[in-house]
Structure 1
Amino acid sequence: MNRRKLLLPSLLAVASIFPALSANADTLNKSVIALEDTTKTASNDHGVMLNAKDATEPRQVEIGLPMSYTAVSVDGLPAVYYYWPNTTSNHWRGEQLLARQGLQNIATTAIKFGEIGYGVDSYMERGGEKFKGKLKYQTNTFGAQNFDLNLSGKLAKKTYFTLSTYQNFDPGSMNLKFTNYIDRAQFYTAGLTHLFNDDRGRFSVFYKYNETHPLTALANYAPFTYDGDGKVSELKNFRMGRDSYLPVDGMMQYRDVKTGKLVTDNLYDIIKTRTHEATALLDYDLGNNLSLAVKGKFSHSKGHSGDQLTMGFYEDADATYADNGDAFHGTIQRRLSQINAFCVKDAMLVAELQKKTASHDWAFGINELYSNIDYARSTTQYYHEVAPNPRKLIYNGAEYANLNGSTEYDKGFENKLAAYVNDTWRVSRNFRMGYGARVELFNLGVDYIGDKRFGDFHIGANYTDAEGNKKTVGITHHTNTGLNYAVSVSPTYNITHNFGLTGEINFLRQYRHLEAYSGISLPYYNNRPFILGRAGIFFNSSFVNLVSAFTYARRTNDYSRLTVMSENPNEDPVMVGASSGIETMGWTTDAMFTPFKGFTFHAMVTLQSPKYTGYKFEAFNKTYDFSGKTVTKQSKLIVELDPNYTYDRFNIWASFRYYGKQYANVGNSVYFNGRWETFAGASYKASKMLTFNVNVVNFLNQRGAQGTIPGSELITDGSQYAGTIMAGNYIRPFTVEFGAKLNF
């Protein structure tokens, strides 16, 4: 099952981010008793918005486990209940609507929302006494245009407004023939805020409408020659990242798994999502350093997402062009189209009571999080030539084949009712203890399809099973109830004023989301336990803030689905379920240097060993066991270097990330050598209102593959593929971005 997997380094101490109130209500939470804290450790945001694969989403910060997504919150509410099938980028972008954003630490993400890993915390503009405008324009060397505007100010006495629009016109780095844009997004937001009871209370309402056409995932494929030693070479007729590997006409045919109807349409028109979102926020100062926040949101998203997996090649093969019937002889690319239809309704209510004292920062909260999902994936196998903007081929008498041979379906709801407590206890000047706990009642009801997939599969289709029995594809209902939990403890102790010990341990359990039920059987396990921990030292001075820590991460009871290919190229791909677990031990050193005024240099080095503790599945009458293999897409060595210099009105920065050798399949027979991901930028503040900037993506101009190679799971000897053509994902090509921001 191909999800948008993101990247991951360390379990470092990052300051917790709690909801803050605007200047309009700065009397709220104002009287916090100050106490010198000598236990603070190095922290940074890890360049969370610098994503080398997709510019529309935050990157995944490493925690030693492969993660599905980065949890994003907006004013204390999750941007989405869950990232699948309704992705975060359909709701959230780093737009001017946001007053601020930052990195949320692992413990806060676990205790407040029951999710795993670092999160992104963001807050919307609410307006103030003075009118304020923020206009940002961005373009790049490939012709992308981004317009981003926020207006806010006073509407009436104690009443304020905010208005925003975000418009993205991104053609991508390749020349798509069937559409102008690889990402077309339009967001519109309107909000009102009212202060009451002598500014002790603040109430806000927002409405947001979004429409997106996200084709980035579909277009992020390229053919290449695998050299057999971790290197890849570009084909003579194909530039990775510059040429499109989507069909030249952009047309796709699929059979709707719910209705059985045959649909033919353009991929740009298919891949579209419309979202309506309403939010209400209440903040109230109860006095005596006690505050209450109550937040609610309802969203409705409907549309399609998709992917176009590369599934191997037929070499020296004969076919005919589908558009004109001319003969073709050569290498044929086999693709698997995935068209995901969904309708997602999320309803969320969060209430939190905060109490601040000289020694404690208490937070007591409840969550009521609900999601109703109607999801169906229709799949189609098709063929095309190996060329830029390839033409589709008729092979073995068919342009499209094995319709819905690996389809997915689930329809139902999830509900999480949770209570949590979180505290930072300053025991003394030298000792600080962060701790928290979350208890969550989880309920799920789902309709799924337990019938084995076959060509032209859909609900209501008739078939004959292996025993010769006549059957009809139908729906099975399943319910599940359980208790999720999260516990976090993070002590920090100063041995001297600026040197000490730091640690953290997080225990979590998560019952499986609806996505686990969209295959042909129930998941092997109802829930997954997680352990994330670290222990090390820190040192702070005017020259350097440093943390060096041993890290440990473990996740068990994994269940996933993947589409695998037989060694016999004439057999169709099949969908299988795999059980697994993952364990990672490592060491991370994270330092922020400030050698002189205006200059900072962040450096981080991670050594880790991520292993499968069990990875088994059956396919084509054979059992495969990959226990002990290195986890795919995970590096044993990760290095981050981030210099930043500011002088007067000028700022210049860079970000270098090195990811060591990564395996592209679970058998570890195919791998990619280490690579650098590089970003840089400079800005000039021309006046108090106007700033110009230029940014560069991949300024080392590295070209190569990353991620996994779809269809390679059963390759046991990668050396035999040296010199052969493969296909997979690639990193963003060299790109220069130019922009200006006007504050008025």
Structure 2
Amino acid sequence: MKSIVTTMGSMMLLMVCMNAAAQEEHASSHSKEEGNRNVMLNAASANGPREIQIGLPSADVNVLENGLPVTYATNPHTVNTMWRGDASLSHQGLLKIAETAITTGNIGYAVNSFTQLGEKGFNGTLNYKSNHFGLQEFSLNLNGDMGKNWFYSVNMYQDFDPGTFKIKSTPYQDRTQIYKALVTKRYDNNAGEFTVGYKYSNSHNVYNYATQSAPFIYVGDGSVKEYGKFKLGTTSYLPTENTMTYRNMRTGQLEQTTLYDACLNRSSELSLMNKYRFDNGWEWKVVARYDHSRGAMVYQTPMAIIDLKSQENQAAYNYQFTDIDGKQKAYEGQYVQTRMSCLNAGTIDEFLFTSELSKQWRNSTLRLGLNEWFYNIDYCSNTTMYDQSVPADGSYAVRLWDANKRDSYFYDFNKNASEYYKGHENKLALYLTHDWDVTPKFNLYYGARLEWQSLNGENAAVKNAAGNYVGRFADYHLGATAADGTVISPVNLSYDWLNYDLSLAATYKLTDNFGFTGDFTYIVQHPKFEAFAPATLPNTDKISVPLGRVGIYYNNAWLSLTSMFSYISKTNNNSTLNLQHGSEIKAAPLSYDIQTWGWTTDAVMHPFKGFDFHCLFTYQKPTYKKFETSVTFNDGYTGTINATGNTVAEIPEILIELDPSYMITKDIKLWTSFRYFSKTYANINEAYYFNGHWETFGGVNWQVNKRLSLGCTVVNFLNQTGAKGSIAGAELITKDEAKDIKNQIMTGSYLRPFTIEVNASLKF
């Protein structure tokens, strides 16, 4: 899990605030979607949807295709390995929070997409994208009819992405291929359609979690500067060696793999879709999908940087490396980076089924739905540690070993964040929504979901004879024996819970232009199966998420404005911190609460012909509640964290989004997007912080004719460089300890570098 295998900043993936709240009101009150979110304009990824910020730690990025989640759980099978916003899609939108909660049981926004089905005649779409780093992305959809109301649609997606720097350990940072084929039978009298589809995907997705770290100099005032000639975002920080040695959690055997092979994701899906309109106005939709897959992701998480020239370390280490000629040499550099590799992989079988019955009257729409979602997985995360050089000249890093301690690169197999679980999770849910124009001035939307969640299987949260969790240790695996004599064997799991979601939204038009709006969503969940992966059982109490918002809106011919106050909280977030003291790492489990107050003002303006301007301002105060944990290290030191009341790490208090665009001619559009993130803390104790920064995008789109469109996008056109997120290995650092730390080398993630992208789309 992300929260277990990474340092605090990247661990939480805290995508922030309430800023998406207001824009819902710009859509029709009857619409399940909203607009103006630039969801595919992503400062973290070249080809995935952006995470919409709602003020809570992000869990899964919800992406739906044809009404079903693209993947039931994103660890270890991420959305980007089997879904892209390519030519195979006829529609993409963004589901509102209430709609996502009622129909899926999850909190947050969801990308809503639908596959392109066959149409009359012969139709085709060819999309192409490239950038100045060498990305090559192709997508082709062909569809048409076969007579007698039979239709076909086929699609191919190919991605060859070297990333923004070359890494020698893999040929690409992303190599993904997706194939789809669908056959549709349309019923007579436009009564509906039945579709059978097949999808195959094969993806080596390296860059998501293996390459997004780099060294820099932390100045001490919230700014960073480059370490030597190392360029953030355009210099590789991965060693050149390709192989990794690990101990198999299941068998205990030492095995080898490569980064590219360990990231292999493969999926075969069969889907059935049916839509039928009855004569009495009711519409029935059914969609079902079976998926057999291998999901995998690899983290290469930086932990500590060791200063070999410091007084206490000069005689403590004896690092060696092998040069390109195969000769063993003493390492003469000043710094050594320790890394934890987490090889997450699982074999997955999932069956997802949703049936929905709906009817629309003159002033209301009623919908009844059923979910039956079954997820079976055999998963483990094998962890291994290694050390590497920190080259100040910007050259490739090399792996090192400390000859005082060992004679090989890899060590501490499965000691820290290793994971294991096997079994199935089932969710059976009924839901209802009613969208009702009570009067011409008053709209009421309400919905409810009742869900039965069942878990059955096993994990490795083993207790000793005294009733205490054994925890992980070096060379941990099923069948291993701990120091106290406890034999590590699978532990059976069986849980049944009742979850529910409620949602209520109301809009009152005081005048034709001005009114009040508010909504309330309350979600009760329980831990997902993946929460049982660590060495201790999670808090299995209910997870409650209340979200309330109230505000005003104003619309006229050139302005659409909403201003809202918001509150959201979440109880019993299960997580595990990997705390570091010296060169030792200990896992510390905890369960904590979080809450966020926010005020958002959002406006879409059309001041003159051809010019559109969207702007959004958010102020928020996200804080930890009951955030306390501790762990005792081998030398007797007890590392303690009490972050209750602290501002949540990585979350800014102020966000600004500015999106102006102008139609130069009826066919040429010039656009930009500016996103500002204020100061963020880079560890839990508020000891380190990063100053505010801008994420910028801009481009031009040219509709050459009805068949051909061209575009050019510039990412980070202000060429702002710097660090973001968290600082590796800094969880236990306090404010007092950090106040005198200046101009020190550290490791963290970074802003996406300046990138020029070109794209073309041809319809035929």
Same fold judged by TM-score > 0.5? yes
Alignment counterpart, residue 636 of structure 1, candidates 635, 653, 658 = 653
1:215 to 173, 194, 206: 206
Q: For structure 1, which runs of at least 5 residues remain unmatched after alignment?
A: 18-36
Q: Distance in 1 between matches of 2:372 and 2:355?
A: 9
Contact 1:254 1:262 in 2 (8 A): yes
TM-aligned CA distance change 1:61 to 1:38, over 3 Å: closer
**How do residues 201-212 of structure 1 correspond to structure 2 at under 5 angstroms?**
201-212=192-203
Among the aligned pairs, what percent are the same residue?
37
> How far has the Cα of 1:692 moved from its partner?
1.2
CA deviation after TM superposition for structure 1 residue 516, in Å: 1.0
What is the match of residue 731 of structure 1? Answer: 751
2-side partners of 1:523 and 1:42: how far apart? 34
Q: Is the 8 A contact 1:603 1:641 kept in 2?
A: yes
* Cα contact 2:34–2:94 (8 A) shared by 1: no
What does residue 651 of structure 1 align with? 669
Please list, as runs of the form range in 1=range in 2, the aligned pairs for 1:122-137 lying within 5 A after superposition: 122-137=113-128
Answer yes or no: is the 8 Å Cα contact 1:41–1:540 preserved in 2.
Answer: no
Q: Distance in 2 between matches of 1:349 and 1:68?
A: 22
CA distance in structure 2 between the partners assigned to 1:186 and 1:102 by the alignment: 23
Q: Contact 2:33–2:94 (CA<8 Å) still a contact in 1?
A: no
Give the superposition deviation at 1:129: 0.9
Q: Give the secondary structure class of the aligned counterpart of 2:531.
A: helix
Which of 387, 391, 395 pairs up with 2:398? Answer: 391
Q: How does 1:554-573 map to 2 (within 5 A)?
A: 554-566=569-581, 569-570=582-583, 572-573=584-585
Question: What is the 5 A alignment of 1:296-315?
Answer: 296-315=288-307
Shift of residue 718 of structure 1? 2.3
> Pick from 441, 456, 466: which aligns with 2:452?
441
Matched with 1:241 is 233
Q: How many correspondences in the alignment?
A: 718
Worse-superposed segment, 388-397 or 406-415: 388-397
- 1:509 partnered with 2:517: no
Tell me the secondary structure at the aligned position of residue 515 of structure 1.
Answer: helix
2:436 maps to 425
Does the aligned pair in 2 maintain the 1:486–1:507 contact within 8 Å? yes
* 252, 257, 260: which one aligns with 1:265: 257
Distance 1:412 1:689, change over 3 A: same
Cross-structure match for 2:466: none
For residues 756 and 492 of structure 2, what CA distance do their matches in structure 1 show?
52
SS at match of 1:109: helix
Q: What residue identity is the alignment partner of 1:149? A: L
Q: Is it true that 1:591 corresponds to 2:637 in the alignment?
A: no
Distance 1:375 1:710, change over 3 A: farther
What residue is the counterpart of 1:454 in the other structure?
A: 473
The question of whether the paired residues in 2 share the 8 Å contact of 1:7 and 1:59 is answered with no
Offset of residue 90 of structure 1:
1.9
Q: Is the 8 A contact 1:15 1:104 kept in 2?
A: no
Does the 8 Å CA contact 2:77/2:296 hold for their aligned counterparts? no
CA contact (8 A) 1:505 1:533 kept: yes
Residue 334, structure 1, aligned to residue 338, structure 2: yes
* Distance (whole Å) between structure 2 residues aligned to residue 244 and residue 251 of structure 1: 17
Give the drift of 1:50.
Answer: 1.4
**Within 1, Cα distance between the matches of 2:560 and 2:651?**
27
Query: SS of the counterpart of 1:707?
Result: strand
- Give, in angstroms, the shift of residue 200 of structure 1: 0.5
Tell me the amino acid that sits aligned with residue 341 of structure 1: A
- Map 1:161-240 → 2, pairs under 5 A: 161-216=152-207, 217-240=209-232
Greater displacement, 424-433 / 56-65: 56-65
Deviates more, 1:681-690 or 1:315-324: 315-324
Report if the CA contact (8 A) 2:639-2:732 is conserved.
no
Conserved 8 A contact 1:99-1:123: yes
SS at 1:471's partner residue?
coil
Displacement of 1:622 in angstroms is 4.3
Deviation of 1:322 after TM superposition, in Å, equals 4.0
8 Å Cα contact 1:6-1:59 kept in structure 2: no
Distance 2:349 2:151 in 1: 29
CA distance in 1, matches of 2:157, 2:348: 22
Letter in 2 for 1:404: N
The CA deviation at 1:43 is 5.0
Native 8 Å contact 1:42 1:592 kept in 2: no
Q: CA deviation at 1:527?
A: 2.6
Which residue of the partner structure matches residue 522 of structure 1?
A: 537
Cα 1:13–1:287 change in 2 (3 A) is: farther
Amino acid at match of 1:110: A
Q: Answer yes or no: is the 8 Å Cα contact 1:638–1:658 preserved in 2.
A: yes
Measured in 2, the distance between the counterparts of 1:437 and 1:301 equals 32
The aligned runs of 1:347-358 (5 Å cut-off) are 347-358=351-362
Instruction: Report the secondary structure of 1:502's partner residue.
Output: strand
Letter of the structure 1 residue corresponding to residue 357 of structure 2: L
1:546 to 561, 566, 574: 561
1:672 maps onto 2:690 in alignment: yes
Corresponding residue of 1:23:
none
TM-score (norm 2): 0.92
Tell me whether 1:404 sits opposite 2:414 in the alignment: yes
C-alpha separation in 2, matches of 1:193 and 1:425: 34
Give 1:126 deviation, angstroms.
0.5
Relative distance call for 1:699 and 1:441 in structure 2 (3 A) is: same
Distance 2:36 2:494 in 1: 40
* 2:722 aligned residue: 704
| Conserved 8 A contact 1:144-1:170 | yes
Deviation at 1:525, TM superposition (A): 3.2
Amino acid at match of 2:738: G
- The residue that corresponds to 2:468 in the other structure is none
Task: Determine the C-alpha separation between the residues in 2 that align with 1:592 and 1:49.
Answer: 19
Report the CA distance shift for 1:103/1:431 in structure 2 as closer, same or farther (over 3 A): same
CA RMSD of aligned residues (A): 1.8
Compute the displacement of 1:403 (Å).
0.9
Q: Deviations over 1:181-229 (max 9, x none)?
A: 1000000000011012433120001100000001112011100011112
Distance 1:343 1:4, change over 3 A: farther
Q: Aligned partner of 1:260: which letter?
A: G
- Distance in structure 1 (CA, Å) of the matches to 2:318 and 2:349: 48
CA deviation vs aligned residue, 1:406-426 (integer Å, no higher than 9, x gap): 211111111110000011110
Per-residue displacement from partner, 1:239-260 (whole Å, max 9, x unpaired)? 0100111111232111111111
Task: Report the 3-state secondary structure (helix = DSSP H, G, I; strand = E; otherwise coil) of the residue aligned with 1:133.
Answer: strand
Structure 1 pair 62–694 and aligned structure 2 pair: CA distance change class (3 A): same
CA distances 1:452-487 after superposition (whole Å, capped 9, x unpaired): 21111111112222xxxx221111011111111110
Equivalence for 2:379: 375
2:425 maps to 1:414? yes
State the 1:289 CA deviation. 2.5
Mapped to 1, the partners of 2:192 and 2:153 lie a distance apart of 18
The CA distance in 1 between the partners of 2:514 and 2:170, in whole Å, is 58
Structure 2's unaligned 5+ residue stretches are 309-316, 463-470, 633-637
1:499 aligns with 2:514: yes
Q: Secondary structure at the match of 2:55?
A: coil
Q: Secondary structure at the match of 2:24?
A: coil
Higher mean displacement: 163-172 or 66-75: 66-75
Give the CA deviation at 1:360.
Answer: 0.7
**Partner-residue secondary structure (3-state), 1:400:** coil
Give 1:321's aligned amino acid.
F
Deviations 1:683-726 (A, max 9, x none): 11222211111111111111111112232111113224321111
Question: After the TM superposition, which of the residue ranges 322-331 and 348-357 deviates more from structure 2?
Answer: 322-331
Distance 1:259 1:604 in 2: 53
Maintained 8 Å contact 2:553/2:561: yes
Asked if the contact 1:52/1:732 (under 8 Å) is kept, the reply is yes
Asked if structure 2 preserves the Cα contact closer than 8 Å seen for 1:16 and 1:104, the reply is no
**Aligned-residue offset at 1:5:** 2.5
Which amino acid in the other structure matches residue 630 of structure 1?
T
Write the distance in 1 (CA, Å) between the matches of 2:459 and 2:377.
Answer: 12
Matched, 1:147 2:120: no
Q: Could you tell me which amino acid in structure 1 is paired with residue 578 of structure 2?
A: T
